[in-house]
Amino acid sequence: MKDNYEEYIALLKEGSYEAFSDLYTHYASKLYSFALVQTRNSVLSEDIVQETFLKLWNTRGQLDCYGNVHALLFTIARNLIIDGFRKQIRQIDFEDYRQSCNKLSLLPTPEEQLDYEEFINRLQQTKGLLSKRACQIYEMSREENMPIQEIAESLNLSSQTVKNYLTSTLKIFRKKLMRE
């Protein structure tokens, strides 16, 4: 295999499973090694390889026949790694925080614990005011950290519809939680 795969890209654009399989066979272990060095997590690295090839297959119709497949695959993998790191940074898990505090003997004061429990109760009450669909979209976005496009695809909605749901839902949360 050469570094420039015009014929593979042309075949892939036509939906050739054989070309896709050849590319997978040639690059999967290289991508896995790359992801493993970056993430230091074998399961995550396997997921990144699968997601990379899934994205290649799903976007095969837009591929440039003169492009470099090697560069394309590693760019996709790198972006998936970066997205994964961003999700980890955004994801604040209060229970992990509490466990860390317990290990460090930094227990929340009874007042802090009460405030937290009160906030959780108000949050649950506010979620109870939402429609089933709005609540589902809110939980997928804010509690599961799913991107809007992924939510839209999984619920068979347009991304604009998901954005509209989130906008109205967040207005309700601001109104209810700030007032009390």
What does the alpha-carbon distance between residue 180 and residue 176 come to, in Å, rounded to a whole number? Answer: 7
Q: Helical H runs in the chain? A: 6-13, 17-39, 42-58, 69-90, 94-103, 110-129, 132-138, 148-155, 159-179
Instruction: Render pLDDT for 10-59 as a digit per residue (tens, 0 to 9).
Output: 888 888 899 899 989 999 999 999 999 988 888 889 999 999 999 999 98
pLDDT, tens only, 82-124: 888 877 666 556 666 666 666 665 666 778 778 778 888 888 8
For the segment 134-171, what is each residue's pLDDT rounded down to a tens digit?
999 988 988 888 899 999 999 999 999 999 999 998 88
Torsion, Cα of 65, 68, 74, 80 (10° steps): -30
